[in-house]
A and B are shown apart, each in its own frame.
Chain A
């Protein structure tokens, strides 16, 4: 698919997405909430045990 066509398709998808009927949006919102709830528990797994020290140690030299 050429880029132009692809853009067109995406644009169309978006419009359809926005035009979704309300109950579906609500249903989707509920699902996302559940997903996020599960996800929040996963976050602790990827945070360092000693967050405070880790963040404090994150010092860079200025760039550019």
Chain B
């Protein structure tokens, strides 16, 4: 697969359940969480020694953005590392709060919706070539993103005009436009935010806000993997024809509600296809595209998984409960319902929907399943543990992460962003790092040597 820079941002849901009736503003809870993550000074925007960024987002959500990764495996690892960093800080925060006399439980959810109809996102970032015609590019991608939810959805117990039902995606109901620049008012299938954090003449950023946050490693891997292959194919000039949807915004909502996978959506050319059929057309296009290229193990692995999942979705979707978030959740809730004899509108069912996304492993239902070996794992726990402290080795994140670790160790103050590093008291120099693929920089090596041997 072509080398590409990937990044995932997750906004987490946060709630504090106090033992006493007093209410504590969420800002204070967030402050405690930050203290646990950033040890040297309190700040609500910080880069971490693993190269990631952790900050307070709009609406008081803790947000974690992975460091730049140049392959999908790393991306899954660093996404999970974010959960673990937050989990560790949750435990520390509760302890500190108890010392201050605030007793209760912090809950952090990796999901996208609350019970009042608000939403917060999981954004995917792909660095793409600047030379592409963005509008044409987007048109070719829209049917893909509308239908991708059948294997990337995280599932949701939804309530609407007194009826409770299960839908495939958390996010689809909140998408109201095809293409837009806004992320907060009218959320769209393709977002036009274009901050490449790199040479803007060569690259642009593709910022995708339509997807759900995933607990399943397999789901994240497949979601980003298939998207990356599609992007590569389109960048290489392979056309996607005849898939334009008549009404993509309507289609994304309809597909989200069709667990049978059999309903069709209307295309502009008058035809009707199911979501699985549309995905299969994309898959076959990529198969043909890859057939003309050198053999590539990672691409092949993604294609295997893609085909496996589409076949199952078409015939026996429930057999994917080990792999795909929405199926895992749906299957678990159904088993619970039949054992306890409760209905969809039972509050325990909504609670299960929420608890599936709890990042605290001794409480979260996804992790309960993981412990029992009931979900497929793509990466090793040891890799995730290592990634909490250390940056990816093949991208600019290595420069940033190493710099932060050593500067923290030496107790030096500095400022850092995606594209620059500055060590206070080290000349006037701000070191610009505009190439996200460059994991080595002579100037930074010199600076780190200076730091390491300084007292």
Residues of chain A at the chain B interface (Cβ within 8 Å)? 3-8, 10-11, 14-15, 18, 32, 35-37, 39-40, 42-43, 46-48, 51-52, 54-64
A-contacting residues, B290-325, CB 8 Å: 297-298, 300-301, 304-305, 308
Contacts of B209 in A (CB 8 A): 64
Q: Does B368 contact A (CB under 8 A)?
A: yes
Residue from the set B58, B114, B119, B187 with the largest chain A CB neighbour count within 10 Å: B114
What's the least CB distance linking A20 to chain B, in Å? Answer: 13
State whether B11 touches A43 (Cβ < 8 A). Answer: no
List the B residue with the shortest CB-CB distance to A6.
B73
- Nearest neighbor of B187 in chain A, beta-carbon distance: A64
Check if A36 sits within 8 Å of B297, measured CB to CB. no
Give the contacts of B217-260 with A (CB-CB under 8 A).
none
> Chain B contacts of A43 at CB under 8 A?
336, 352, 355, 365, 368
Task: Report yes or no: B297 in contact with A61, Cβ–Cβ below 8 A.
Answer: no
A63 contacts B354, C-beta separation under 8 Å: no
Instruction: Indicate if B372 sits at the interface (CB-CB under 8 A).
Output: yes
Q: Report B347-393 residues with CB < 8 Å from chain A CB.
A: 347-348, 350-352, 354-355, 362-365, 368-369, 372-374, 378
Partner of A10, one of B60, B301, B350, B362: B301
The B interface, classified by DSSP as helix, strand, loop or mixed, is mixed
In the bound assembly, the distance between CA atoms of A12 and B171 in angstroms comes to 34
B339 within 8 A of A: yes
- The smallest beta-carbon distance between B185 and chain A, in angstroms, is 9
CB A43 to nearest CB in B, in angstroms, measures 6
Contacts A7-B297, A11-B301, A54-B17 given; indicate if A59 touches B372 (C-beta within 8 A).
no
Complex: A47 Cα to B15 Cα, angstroms: 15
Query: Contact: B297 with A63, CB < 8 Å?
Result: no
Let me know if A59 and B11 touch, CB within 8 A.
Answer: no
* Contact B119–A63 (Cβ < 8 Å): yes
Task: Indicate whether A48 sits within 8 Å of B351 (C-beta atoms), given known contacts A36-B335, A40-B339.
Answer: yes
Task: State the interface size on chain B (CB cutoff 8 A).
Answer: 54
Shortest CB-to-CB span from B206 to chain A, Å, is: 16
Structural contact, B336 and A40, CB atoms closer than 8 A? yes
What CA separation (Å) do A64 and B15 show in the bound complex?
Answer: 18
Whether A51 contacts B336 in the complex (CB less than 8 A), given A7-B301, A43-B365, comes out as no
The verdict on B153 contacting chain A, using a C-beta distance below 8 Å, is no
State whether B118 touches A32 (Cβ < 8 A).
Answer: no
Write out the residue numbers on chain A whose beta carbons fall within 8 Å of the beta carbon of B57.
63-64
Which residue of A6, A35, A48 is within 8 Å of B374 (Cβ)? A35
User: Which of A37, A46, A60 contacts B365 (CB under 8 A)?
Assistant: A46
Interface check B169, CB cutoff 8 A: no
Q: Determine the distance from Cα of A57 to Cα of B15 in the docked complex, in whole angstroms.
A: 9
A32 neighbours in B (Cβ, 8 Å): 374
Contact (A47, B352) CB under 8 Å given A62-B119, A64-B58, A64-B121: yes
Chain A contact residues: helix, strand, loop or mixed: helix
B240 to chain A, nearest CB (A): 26
**CB contact under 8 A between A3 and B71, given known A11-B300, A11-B304, A39-B372:** yes
CB distance from B173 to the nearest CB of A (A): 13
Minimum Cβ distance to chain B for residue A10 (Å)? 6
State in angstroms the CA–CA spacing of A11 and B297 once bound together: 9
CB atoms of B58 and A63 under 8 A apart: yes
CA A57 to CA B13, docked complex, whole Å: 12
Distance in Å from the Cβ of A51 to the closest Cβ of chain B?
4
Q: Which of B117-158 contact A (CB under 8 A)?
A: 118-121, 123
Known contacts A37-B339, A55-B115; is A63 also within 8 Å of B11 by CB? yes
26 contacts between A and B (CB under 8 A): A3-B71, A3-B73, A4-B297, A7-B301, A11-B304, A36-B332, A36-B335, A36-B372, A39-B368, A47-B351, A47-B352, A54-B17, A55-B351, A55-B354, A58-B114, A58-B354, A59-B114, A60-B14, A60-B15, A60-B61, A60-B114, A60-B120, A61-B58, A63-B57, A63-B58, A63-B61
Q: Is B184 an interface residue (CB 8 A)?
A: yes
